[in-house]
Structure 1
Amino acid sequence: MPRILLTGGLGYIGSHTGFELLDAGYEITIVDNCSNSSERVLDQFETYCNTRPDFFNGDIRDSKFLETVFAQKPIDAVIHFAALKAVDESFEKRDEYFDVNVEGTRVLCEVMEQFGVHRLVYSSSATVYGVPERNPIPETARLSATNPYGETKLACEKLLIDVATQSPAWSVIILRYFNPAGAHQSGLLGEAPKKAANIAAAILEVLRGIRAEVVINGVDYPTPDGTCIRDFIHVVDVARAHVVALKAMDTSTGCKIYNIGTGRGQSVKEMIVAFENAANQSIATRVGPRRDGDVVVAIADPTKIERELGWRAQHTLQDIAESAVAWIRKSAHR
């Protein structure tokens, strides 16, 4: 079976995608430096998939390290998740974000070329759209990131488009995620970053007793309840999109870009209520200031990937909340 290299494969979306790939019959190799993840995730692979993936702990900016990985076993394709990803932190650590995200991607592409691996699925973000001119947002919308994290994703997209344009051997698919949340149905995987950087992760920290309250950054936006509206998508739906993208590259070259979202918008307050219903408890909140770089409304137009690849999100906001609550309750007993 084809062997897929997952950079950042122990992280939130990477690990869920690893589960889906193994379920689909692929073999996987994982590269991760564990800066925002843990090697304990390998135990969950063993429990759920009855296999422990090959794992290499290292930095994607280190070409010698990557060469060692590629030399171990033939790699058929790469799914590139590894990146720094906190919007607020990216303002404080702009240079580091560009170094890890953009330089890391450049080094990865060079090593892939060296080993004749020309198929890449790239983990991008809806942050590349900045403040959208309209919602839902199509892939053809104007690109203008409002924060350094989004700027790094946009720079990586341009780099990959150039790579695919300059060499007909390459097949690149860029997936622009909107707002992944939720947990795997097995209860073995969920979102547990070392620092919560989004509303879902913050809610989970309250439910786990790590923090006392969720800070709602802004309640004076021009939306029905005053909070930002996002396209929250179940992480398993996001993971499934990568399997679909890999299969599509069997018959395509060049670079294609797809939104990964539901096409439905829900507010931050609606997200909190969904978790309260799932957990059957109230969640303490506090109003905080607006965050730099936040847009008011961001909803995906997913019709392109539905039409071309047959992928569509299957889960609701309540599914997201219930799966995440089930995960934290199960993990509390491990």
Structure 2
Amino acid sequence: MPTVLVTGGAGYIGSHTTLALTQAGYDVIVYDNLSTGRAEAVLPPARLVVGDLAETAKLATLMAESRFTAVLHFAGSIIVPESVENPIKYYKNNTTNTTALVELALRHRIPHFIFSSTAAVYGIPKTVPVTEDAPTAPINPYGRSKLMSEWTIFDAAAAHPHFRPVVLRYFNVAGADPGGRLGQCTPQATHLIKVAAQTALGRREALSIFGTDYPTPDGTCIRDYIHVTDLAEAHVRALRHLEGGGAPGVFNCGYGHGYSVREIIAAMQAAIGHTFAVRTAPRRAGDPPVLVADSTRIQRVMGWQPKHDCIEEIVKSAYLWEQRL
């Protein structure tokens, strides 16, 4: 049974991927500082080691003891407005820590590396849907910190042929495990569907629409929402791809179509059968008008096929999870 390291595996996407990996037969060790993740999200038989990526000596000891065949790297900071207000945090948590992790993986001869990246590296794309070959021009520190991490990873791979990475660029991740075992737990999350579920349950006074004057049909931002379980499966496919000798590369993870903020609100209200308070607010810094993926490459190369491409299912699963919390 191959043993893999999942950094940030107690968080939202990391915990769903850890579950998918264990179900696929991998022995998984999660390394997480629990700053945003939760220990109970690491479901057995996966094991949790509490630690920070900045604790390189601790991480090196773990690597020496565990003989990992792969690293799946999720740990990092992900809130766009916060990155504008506190960019140094993002360059430290994302770029610096990723560089240190890559260095350790090289030192311990771990051959496979899967990196959690983002559509934010594209900035404001000129053509939509966005392919992996589109220019990278991030418009916020979050996107820049992730793009710099990608450069580090691929430069390391060029210098060390045994090191073979896959970078997965996520679009908007949403929803919860269909079995009700996992979901997004961050109390002050900024993800729209999470916020809509919290508002629907009365845990927030109102949902704010940040900007109603974007160049879109209803004036609000459009995003490609991918169910977290489909995204977790994409990571398993990526690992299998590398293990089978597949080439390193960059792959978009999305469905190829988007929904506006107003459409997501309407979908949530339809799913739960009642309305909730909505208010308008000024635009947030660093928000592009439209981000929709072209995910042809991952489907063609890895055979990934989404099973939960249904906005009603996504919002309902998020709401049911929020109820459990």
Normalising to structure 2: TM-score of the pair?
0.97
Partner Cα separation in structure 2 for residue 160 and residue 56 of structure 1: 24
CA distance in 2, matches of 1:158, 1:304: 20
Q: What per-residue deviation string (whole Å, max 9, x for no partner) do you get for residues 242-288 of structure 1?
A: 00000000133663000000001111111111111222221211101
Whether the aligned pair in 2 keeps the contact of 1:181 and 1:234 (CA below 8 Å) is yes
- Structure 2: distance between partners of 1:203 and 1:313: 24
Cα distance in 1 for residues equivalent to 2:86 and 2:162: 35
4+ runs deviating over 4 angstroms = none
Partners of 2:216 and 2:144 in 1: CA distance: 26
2:250 alignment counterpart: 257
Q: Does residue 15 of structure 2 align to residue 15 of structure 1? A: yes
1:31 is displaced (CA, Å) by 0.5
Native 8 Å contact 1:192 1:201 kept in 2: no
Question: After the TM superposition, which residues 133-172 of structure 1 pair with which residues of structure 2 at under 5 Å, given as runs?
Answer: 133-172=126-165
Task: Provide the alpha-carbon RMSD of the alignment.
Answer: 1.3
1:38 maps onto 2:38 in alignment: yes
Unmatched 5+ residue regions in structure 2? none
Q: Which string of whole-angstrom CA distances, capped at 9 and with x for unpartnered residues, describes residues 77-123 of structure 1?
A: 01000000000000111111101101111111111112111210000
2:15 aligned partner, one-letter code: S
Are 1:184 and 2:181 counterparts?
no
Which one-letter code corresponds to 1:155 in the other structure? M
Counterpart in the other structure of 1:84: 77
- In 2, the alpha carbon distance for the partners of 1:308 and 1:253 equals 9
* Equivalence for 1:48: none
Alpha-carbon distance between aligned partners in 2 of 1:107 and 1:253, rounded to the nearest angstrom: 25
Q: What TM-score, normalized to structure 1?
A: 0.94
Task: Verify the 8 A CA contact 1:120 1:172 in the aligned structure 2.
Answer: yes
Distance 1:65 1:254 in 2: 31
- For the pair 1:282 / 2:275, whether they are aligned, the reply is yes
Of the three residues 91, 94, 102, the one matched with 2:95 is 102
Contact 2:84 2:286 in 1 (8 A): no
Q: Which amino acid aligns with 1:65?
A: K
1:70 aligns with 2:54: no
Match of 1:201 in 2: 194
Q: Work out whether residues 98 and 149 of structure 2, in 8 Å CA contact, stay in contact via their aligned partners in 1.
A: yes
Q: Distance in 2 between matches of 1:56 and 1:192?
A: 19
Kindly provide the amino acid, as one letter, of the partner of residue 129 in structure 1.
Y
Give the structure 2 partner of residue 26 of structure 1: 26
Q: Is the 8 A contact 1:231 1:261 kept in 2?
A: yes
CA deviation map 1:42-72 (0-9, x unaligned): 3xx1xxxxx2422111111221021122133
Secondary structure at 1:301's aligned position in 2? coil
Deviates more, 1:125-134 or 1:61-70: 61-70
Q: Deviations over 1:209-255 (max 9, x none)?
A: 32111100011112111110000110111100000000000133663
Report whether the alignment pairs 1:241 with 2:234: yes
2:39 partner SS: coil
2: CA distance, partners of 1:287 / 1:201: 18
Asked whether the 8 Å contact 1:170–1:254 carries over to 2, the reply is no
Preserved contact between residue 98 and residue 152 of structure 1 (Cα < 8 Å): yes
CA distance in 2, matches of 1:284, 1:317: 21
Does 2:112 match 1:119? yes
Aligned residues between the structures: 324
| Contact persistence 2:4–2:70 (CA under 8 A) | yes
Correspondence for 1:323: 317
Query: What is the aligned partner in structure 2 of residue 132 from structure 1?
Result: 125
Structure 2 distance, partners of 1:6, 1:57, is 12
CA contact (8 A) 2:106 2:163 kept: no
Counterpart-to-counterpart distance in 1, 2:66 and 2:230: 29
Q: Which residue of 2 aligns with 1:269?
A: 262
Asked whether the 8 Å contact 1:37–1:194 carries over to 2, the reply is no
> Which structure 1 segments of 5+ residues have no match?
46-50
